[in-house]
Structure 1
Amino acid sequence: MDGTLVDTEPYWMAAETSLVESFGGTWSHEDALQLVGNGLIDSAIILQNAGVDMDAEAIVSLLTDAVQESLRIQGVPFRPGARELLKDLRSAGIPTGLVTMSLRRMALSVVDLIEFDAFDIVVAGDDVDNPKPHPEPYLQAAALLDIDIADAVVIEDSPTGLRAGIASGAVALGVPHIVSLEGVGAHELWPTLDGRSAADLVDLFDRRSSMTGATR
């Protein structure tokens, strides 16, 4: 969600900076980059190590509240082409799921702001035992969609998320935003979703399937 569907990473970074500074610490842009795509508890532990004297669950709740408030005040900055691609996937009858390490309440608040029924299912950070880069979130999504994960395309903007998609057995598409995805192992990298359609994803899946079949 964050960075692929919506550009909320600046909201998260601002909330993290404010929190660390409230405990007398410092939080740089480089510090913030190491949290991109991580599970929230993992991120909370990093913030604790930066001097935030709070329980991990409390950190997660506070940051989520801060980002939701930013969304209410500043609006939801959807990434270029994301909503349009979702709409085309729906028109094509292709099942879609949102897999995010944000809390479910945060994910649903963003989904509710899309002007059409964009997703069949949502898997959030508090729905799984093992966050990305573990494949569990994507495997759970495939089970909820009642599909084989090998028949899925995962779209990710972070190395952590991309590794989860690759490990799950899906076709993994990287669309970099704040951090580079070079060398992570994506099956393909697109610079943007802008101008992309359901047919482009079907073509990507068919090409990857052909290559896999040729090596068997």
Structure 2
Amino acid sequence: MPTQNPAVLPVQTRNTHVQGVLWDMDGTLLDTEPYWMSAEEELVAAHGGSWTHEDALSLVGSALPDSALVLQRAGVDLDAREIIDWLNERVMAGINNHVEWRPGALELLEELHAAGIPCGLVTMSEGPMATQVLSKLPKEYFSFQVTGDQVSRGKPHPDPYLLGLEKLSALVPDLEARRVVGIEDSAPGIAAAAAAGLTALLVPHLSRVPETGPWHTIDSLERVGLSTLSTLIGIGAN
């Protein structure tokens, strides 16, 4: 993706604590989880195994190599790379057919864009899928992307968000991790964002998530604006 011009990112002069926002993709920016779940069920069934809705929920937010191991244990007789490629093909076809943005996501992106707050995408999906999703947006809201194939350890490890902070630091002088918001919908994702030192915001969607932790929780991004994010940074995590 083209990098947004740093000259239009006067974050330090804005009346806000927020220096940047790092977004999860699947389940946070858009609702791709039904595509993933359907693909997993189809793949396991093709190999004579059984796959439940609970099994599918357990993989939400996980790194793709970890998901591939679980699917192998469920009976899929393919190597990890073959499984990942098969899932990617099915999910990307679904995205091409229809994109369901999560409630409030585009509105928050537009507000951040108008305020000059840089955003980055931090997803366990791979590069081609992330690029495909970003191409569906009405504007270039994201300055960069971190994808699952760029890190050796995926969520819940902090590595993806630490790489996101590194990329963000090239755009924002004197970056402080706590002044960057990480928005997530899953247990692995929110754990990764919090472990990287971000102000982590959990917006639960389909999967089970912890009731408490070093993060903030809200039921929908429809209730979140730049002032909300600034307030969260100011008060710290619960």
TM-score, length of structure 1 as denominator length: 0.93
User: Which residue of structure 2 aligns with residue 166 of structure 1?
Assistant: 194
Cα drift, residue 184 of structure 1: 4.8
Q: Does residue 78 of the first structure (1) align with residue 101 of the second (2)?
A: yes
Which whole-Å CA distance do the structure 2 matches of 1:45 and 1:148 have between them? Answer: 36
Cα drift, residue 186 of structure 1: 4.2
* Larger RCO, structure (CA 8 Å, separation 6 or more): 2
Which whole-Å CA distance do the structure 2 matches of 1:57 and 1:182 have between them? Answer: 31
Cα drift, residue 72 of structure 1: 1.5
Which among 109, 126, 129 is matched to residue 132 of structure 2? 109
For this pair of structures, how many residues does the alignment match? 209
User: Which residue of structure 2 aligns with residue 181 of structure 1?
Assistant: 209
The secondary structure found in structure 2 opposite 1:120 is strand
Tell me which amino acid in the other structure corresponds to 1:185. Answer: G
Which whole-Å CA distance do the structure 1 matches of 2:121 and 2:34 have between them? Answer: 20
Which among 102, 126, 130 is matched to residue 149 of structure 2? 126
The secondary structure found in structure 1 opposite 2:206 is coil
The RMSD of aligned alpha carbons is: 1.3
Tell me which amino acid in the other structure corresponds to 2:231. Answer: D
Q: Does residue 61 of the first structure (1) align with residue 85 of the second (2)?
A: yes
Cα drift, residue 150 of structure 1: 2.6
Tell me which amino acid in the other structure corresponds to 1:175. Answer: V
Answer whether contact 2:58 2:207 (CA < 8 A) is retained. no
Q: 1:184–1:131: structure 2 CA closer, same or farther, 3 Å change rule?
A: farther
The secondary structure found in structure 2 opposite 1:122 is strand
Tell me which amino acid in the other structure corresponds to 2:36. Answer: W
TM-score, length of structure 2 as denominator length: 0.85
Answer whether contact 2:124 2:154 (CA < 8 A) is retained. yes
Q: 1:175-216 CA distances to partner (integer Å, 9 max, x unpaired)?
A: 00002323351421100001421111111111218x9xxxxx
Tell me which amino acid in the other structure corresponds to 1:107. Answer: A
Q: 1:124–1:184: structure 2 CA closer, same or farther, 3 Å change rule?
A: farther
Answer whether contact 1:163 1:184 (CA < 8 A) is retained. no
Poorly superposed stretches of 4+, deviation over 6 Å:
none
